[in-house]
């Protein structure tokens, strides 16, 4: 009987060591990814991030980018040493607070993008704010409850010189599923707006900002969804010694994708600003018939002022600096169909026949003035 117990104890110890080793390698890979990407994007960061005024998107970038590396260094290399059970319990709270902060900033960045795309619908933008707030608060409450349980079951394994949780934490899998639900809703709303603009500008090549949005946004959503579901499965079904196997890879990828997404948007926006046209020359032909004006063929030249209005900025006070307004906001060619009722036309205008109509840009209201030419 003693031999059997001894063999079971040895098998359990070997399994724990295997789990701790896998977790340590995974955390080291996550830390390496974040630090390596930090150096890879250093030139672009100095060029597009550090210049100009401090804005909310930049603050979110700084928090997301520069909180993750020290957090991963602490949890990966167990700084400071030596370890004991008290340190393990404090470390759990520090790591949890950092993860909530990073996750909250990332989701807020996504909410800014969606709010900017739907800014013409006040009720939808208000709903986005409420939805994000409720989702993030629910995540925060679940994290606090989970951390209390983690602190209760945290142990120090001297043989491997590491901290671990000795029991599976119930409901902890919801910590990643709720943010994933928020990501899914935001991505769906973004895809709807993207489809609407693509349908309007069918046949027109996508702008560089549009391509960045599709490429980086798609990769971000797929990667975060896969890692989030994987962590939920680990927490719900696998041994508690594997609790941190994929957690820090999840946050490392989130930080990397969000920061690169932001930098790429700023980079492309600055390149497009350098080649932006400065004058408006718009000429369309309309055919007037009874109750409506039917648009005929014509050319549409986009101006700088029109592009600035189509940046979907989230802060009206920052319109003077395009590079500070492109966090999730895209220069989408916005084509509006101009109609006019016959009640505003003269009797002569109501007769059938071809008329040449010039549309010129008006004042800061962004409206168009229709001038007919005989």
* pLDDT digit string, tens, across residues 227-260: 999 999 999 999 989 999 999 999 999 999 999 9
What is the pLDDT confidence band of residue 325, given thresholds at 50, 70 and 90?
A: very low
Question: What does the pLDDT read at residue 222?
Answer: 92
Q: Are 126 and 264 members of one domain?
A: yes
Q: Are 48 and 141 members of one domain?
A: yes
Q: Which of 326, 269, 256, 218 is nearest to 41 (CA)?
A: 256
Phi/psi zone of residue 165: left (φ > 0), alpha (ψ -120 to 50 degrees), beta?
Answer: beta
Q: Are 287 and 258 members of one domain?
A: no
Model confidence at 345: pLDDT above 50: no
- 264 versus 32: the higher-pLDDT residue is 32
> Which of residues 239, 274, 309 is at a domain's end?
274
Count Cα neighbours of 214 within 13 Å in the Cβ-side half-sphere.
Answer: 13
> Which of residues 246, 274, 302 is at a domain's end?
274
CA 56 vs CA 14, 61, 216, 222, 269: distances in Å: 49, 9, 21, 26, 18
Q: Are 95 and 113 members of one domain?
A: yes
Q: Are 259 and 287 members of one domain?
A: no
Within 8 A by CB and 6+ apart from 351, the residues are 288
Q: Are 250 and 304 members of one domain?
A: no
CATH number for the domain including 44? 1.20.1070
Contact between residue 290 and residue 278 where contact means Cβ atoms under 8 Å apart: no
What is the pLDDT confidence band of residue 204, given thresholds at 50, 70 and 90?
A: low
Model confidence at 343: pLDDT above 70: no
Model confidence at 89: pLDDT above 80: yes
At 135, list the tokens. Answer: 């989702």
* pLDDT digit string, tens, across residues 173-187: 899 999 999 999 988
Q: Are 129 and 210 members of one domain?
A: yes
Q: Are 251 and 309 members of one domain?
A: no
- 195 versus 169: the higher-pLDDT residue is 169
Q: Are 121 and 218 members of one domain?
A: yes
* pLDDT digit string, tens, across residues 148-162: 999 889 888 877 778
Q: Residue 328's domain spans which residues?
A: 283-373
Q: Counting beta carbons within 10 angstroms of the beta carbon of residue 217, is it exposed (0 to 12), middle (13 to 18) or buried (19 or more)?
A: buried
> Which of residues 274, 297, 314 is at a domain's end?
274
What is the pLDDT confidence band of residue 198, given thresholds at 50, 70 and 90?
A: low
Q: Are 208 and 76 members of one domain?
A: yes
Q: Are 225 and 80 members of one domain?
A: yes
Contact between residue 288 and residue 355 where contact means Cβ atoms under 8 Å apart: yes
What is the domain count for the chain? 2
* Model pTM score: 0.70
What is the pLDDT confidence band of residue 272, given thresholds at 50, 70 and 90?
A: low
Question: What does the pLDDT read at residue 81?
Answer: 58
Average pLDDT over every residue of 131-137: 93
Q: Are 313 and 265 members of one domain?
A: no
Model confidence at 335: pLDDT above 80: no
């Amino acid at each position: 009987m003693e031999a059997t117990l001894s063999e079971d104890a040895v098998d359990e110890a070997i399994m724990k060591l295997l789990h701790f080793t896998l977790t340590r390698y995974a955390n080291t890979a996550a830390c390496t990814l974040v630090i390596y990407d930090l150096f890879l994007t250093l030139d672009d960061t100095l060029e597009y991030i550090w210049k100009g005024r401090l804005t909310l998107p930049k603050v979110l970038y700084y928090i997301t980018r520069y909180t993750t590396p020290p957090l991963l260094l602490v949890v990966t290399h167990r700084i400071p040493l030596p370890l004991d059970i008290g340190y393990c319990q404090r470390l759990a709270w520090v790591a949890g607070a950092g993860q909530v902060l990073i996750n909250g900033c990332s989701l807020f960045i996504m909410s800014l993008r969606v709010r900017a795309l739907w800014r013409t619908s006040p009720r939808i933008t208000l709903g986005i704010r409420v939805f994000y707030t409720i989702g993030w608060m629910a995540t925060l409450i679940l994290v606090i409850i989970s951390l209390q349980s983690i602190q209760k079951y945290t142990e120090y394994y001297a043989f491997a010189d590491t901290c671990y949780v000795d029991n599976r934490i119930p409901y902890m899998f919801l910590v990643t599923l709720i943010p994933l639900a928020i990501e899914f809703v935001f991505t769906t709303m973004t895809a709807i707006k993207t489809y609407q603009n693509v349908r309007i500008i069918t046949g027109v090549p996508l702008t560089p900002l549009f391509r960045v949005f599709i490429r980086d946004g798609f990769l971000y959503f797929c990667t975060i969804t896969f890692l989030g579901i994987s962590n939920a499965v680990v927490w719900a079904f696998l041994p508690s010694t594997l609790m941190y196997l994929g957690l820090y890879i999840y946050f490392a990828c989130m930080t990397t994708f969000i920061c690169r997404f932001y930098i790429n948007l700023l980079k492309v926006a600055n390149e497009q600003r350098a080649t932006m046209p400065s004058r408006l020359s718009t000429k369309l032909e309309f055919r007037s018939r009874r109750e409506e004006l039917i648009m005929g063929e014509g050319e549409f030249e986009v101006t700088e002022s029109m592009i600035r209005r189509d940046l979907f900025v989230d802060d009206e006070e920052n319109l003077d600096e395009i590079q500070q307004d492109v966090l999730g906001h895209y220069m989408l060619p916005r084509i509006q169909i101009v109609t006019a009722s016959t009640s505003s036309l003269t009797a002569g205008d109501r007769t059938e026949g071809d008329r040449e109509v010039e549309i010129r840009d008006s004042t800061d209201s962004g409206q168009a003035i229709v001038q007919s030419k005989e």
